[in-house]
Amino acid sequence: MTVDGSAPITELKLDRKDFVSDQEVRWCPGCGDYSILAQVQKVVPTLGIPRENFVFVSGIGCSSRFPYYMNTYGFHSIHGRAPAVATGVKLANPHLSVWVITGDGDGLSIGGNHLIHAIRRNIDINIILFNNRIYGLTKGQYSPTSDFGKKTKSTPYGSIDQPINPLCVAIASEATFVARSIDIDTQHLTMVLERAARHKGISFVEVYQNCNIFNDGAFAHFTDRQFRSDRVLYLEHGKPMTFGKDLQKGIRLNNLNPEVVELGRDYSPEDLLVHDEAGAQPTLAYLLTRMHYPDFPVPMGVFRCVETREYSDLLTEQIEEVSRKEGKGNLDSLLAGDETWVIEEEGAILESVSGRERPGEDEESYHPANNLDAHEEPKCAIRRSVLNDRIGEVRPDPPIIASPADSIQSAIERMARERRGAVCVVENDELVGIFTERDVLMRVALKGLDLEKTPISSVMTSNPITLKADATLAYALNQMAVAGFRHLPLMDGKKAVGMVSVKDVVRYMSENMAG
Amino acid sequence: MELAETLKKELVRHLPLPDPIVLTEETPISEAIQKMQEAGRGCILVARDGRLIGLVTERDILVKYLGQPGKTFFTLREIMTTDPKKLSPDASLEKAIQAMSEGGYRHIPLVDQENQICGVVAVRNIVNYIAEHFPTEVFNLPPRLEQKMESPEGA
């Protein structure tokens, strides 16, 4: 997808909240889909595309509920057919930013055929494939990407199918943008999604996504933060392939085979394979898709990114060229042309379909492998604190309260005098906004405003994200790490009773570290 | 390994830190603010010959530059914090956290023994690092937190 210049891009003041819909999100607690949703909602406002130009199309599956949760246009379409629907949407209006959200079942099993054809056409859509290597919605059967030997509901003695490697399929279908990321590696995922969005032509992104109910920990052995630097290879165009905490290891090519080497005595960075996402041949990208843990670190990032002619452009050009040569077409004359005929006989009567079986009686066979409530009490003090402690216990400072009409100058002076980083803007006892020192830097400094006369209402963030006293630290961390907020008002009903800063949270955790 | 143990062992330089914005003390404040706005960053390191001599944060912009309307400031020298709290890139995360919570700092410059600038660590980097240890509980949450499902629903 490209950032289309169709609409005059005045400054679009969109942020993540604009893309959060009012729908109740119905994924299981702890599902990796939440993290991917959060990153997509973070990336799309940065693309300079009006909100009404986004369309999210999905098929069937857990991930396919995605369009409901995006405050954009969307289709929850037919199983496996999202690429076809998305192709139609894009061709009908090439100015739209069209995204396909699919899973390993929807995209590679029933929809495998649609997937490869959308890819080979190089139509300018973004396909995000959530790969959790299991059928989650149907409660735990093996999927086309489940490992060989994997025991599931439908492979009780272990799968004897060889799994599909989605990136190999994409490369074999001549995808012009191929990438992989991890649901919980939020910064990397954001980068990959943004690059996918900005690529003109098909973008195919595989996201390793944890299904914590039916396939928990499928990727944890290399995605866990403590192993990640030694077991994941972050690809960077033009850079030698190094990995490890101190980048002390690398990938070298030995004939046609990659191998892991230690840098230092025998090898230097010059001996290593250099990543080239734009090579004439997709050979290197393909080779990388074949690297698996534990023999290799698992590659993440953009495997391939090349430019070729895009499908909707080609179609538009063809229509224009043919219209110029042969004149504007006429649908009626086409329909009434030589290639039509009439069937004289009565058609056969369709047999009525009846006796539909009742839904399976063994619906009870639903044993969440991992009920979050059933976790034993965590042993690590910080973990316990993050999961159980309530934000009220952090005891944040009471807020500085200002009214929307107060001048920017007065707010700045109060923040300076009272040594605080944010002001709660309150009207009729209700919180209506928040004004922080980040806003001072980004929206006030050098902007030529008359600080004495301009009200804070014109530079504050309206309807900010807030916390209730009984929210856990994990919630606060979510807003700080995912959305990037450093100040969150603590609420009692509609009244702001505190201001939680990122410093408060770190201080609180450091106190707990000792305890 | 318990996270508390990990924080003792993990080094600050292992965090994914962006390159710092480094300017000289003669830089006009307006130019520095522009750089901060473009990069969306809250902190500037002030250097002489690559050696750290000061730190300017958005807090300084607020408190000194905008917070005292009677006064006029021109260059970073006038608003920077001289000789700020520093750490070695080989300091542990635990040490960085302690320094941040004791001194109330949000940014700590990283320098080597010769005081050459190696980077800057922000409280945000620490929070992200800690959050990454609890991905299910921290990242995998719905966009509006009150929506959290209490039990597996299937989609």
Per-residue confidence (pLDDT) for residue B38, from 0 to 100: 95
- Band of residue A514 on the pLDDT scale cut at 50, 70, 90: low
A207 and A291 assigned to the same domain: yes
- Band of residue A347 on the pLDDT scale cut at 50, 70, 90: low
A484 touches chain B (CB under 8 A): yes
Q: Residues B73-94: what's their mean pLDDT?
A: 94
Q: Pairing state of beta strands A461-462 and A54-58?
A: unpaired
Kindly report which listed range (A56-60, A183-187, A463-467) carries the lowest average pLDDT score: A463-467
Chain A: residue nearest B135 by CA? A184
Q: Residues A163-184: what's their mean pLDDT?
A: 97
User: B54 vs chain A: nearest CA distance in angstroms?
Assistant: 19
The 3-state DSSP class for residue B109 equals strand
- Number of folded domains in chain B? 1
Q: Does residue B152 sit within a domain?
A: no
Contact check, Cβ <8 Å, B133/A383: yes
Domain that residue A486 falls in: 381-514
A160 and A280 assigned to the same domain: yes
Q: Does residue B144 sit within a domain?
A: no
A72 touches chain B (CB under 8 A): no
Q: Which of A15, A440, A447, A501 has the most B C-beta neighbours within 10 Å, making it the best mutation to test the interface with B? A: A440
- The ipTM value here is 0.89
Contact check, Cβ <8 Å, A471/B145: yes
- Band of residue A336 on the pLDDT scale cut at 50, 70, 90: confident
A447 and A299 assigned to the same domain: no
- Band of residue B152 on the pLDDT scale cut at 50, 70, 90: confident
A64 and A155 assigned to the same domain: yes
Tokens of A20: 């959060």
- Band of residue A488 on the pLDDT scale cut at 50, 70, 90: very high
Per-residue confidence (pLDDT) for residue B142, from 0 to 100: 84
CATH number of the domain to which A136 belongs: 3.40.50.970
Q: Residues A414-428: what's their mean pLDDT?
A: 92
CATH number of the domain to which A507 belongs: 3.10.580.10
Per-residue confidence (pLDDT) for residue A368, from 0 to 100: 44
Q: Residues A165-188: what's their mean pLDDT?
A: 97
Per-residue confidence (pLDDT) for residue A335, from 0 to 100: 81
Q: Does residue B125 sit within a domain?
A: yes
A480 interaction partners in chain B (CB closer than 8 Å): 124, 127, 131
CATH number of the domain to which B54 belongs: 3.10.580.10
Q: Does residue A369 register a pLDDT over 50?
A: no
**Long-range contacts formed by A67-73: CB under 8 A, 24+ apart:** A67/A101, A68/A21, A68/A23, A69/A20, A69/A21, A69/A23, A69/A25, A69/A37, A69/B142, A69/B143, A70/A19, A70/A21, A70/A37, A70/A40, A70/A41, A70/A44, A71/A18, A71/A19, A71/A20, A71/A21, A71/A22, A72/A19, A72/A44
Kindly report which listed range (A159-173, A377-391, B28-42) carries the lowest average pLDDT score: A377-391
Q: Does residue B154 register a pLDDT over 70?
A: no
Q: Does residue B151 sit within a domain?
A: no
Q: Which of A412, A435, A450, A465 has the most B C-beta neighbours within 10 Å, making it the best mutation to test the interface with B? A: A412
Q: Does residue B42 sit within a domain?
A: yes
The residue out of A260, A289, A311 marking a domain boundary is A311
Q: How big, in percent rounded to 5, are the helix, strand and coil portions of chain B?
A: 40, 20, 40
Contact check, Cβ <8 Å, B127/A409: no
Chain A: residue nearest B67 by CA? A413
A34 interaction partners in chain B (CB closer than 8 Å): 139-143
Domain that residue B133 falls in: 3-138
Q: Does residue B27 sit within a domain?
A: yes
In angstroms, the Cα distances linking A205 to A119, A129, A304 are 12, 6, 11
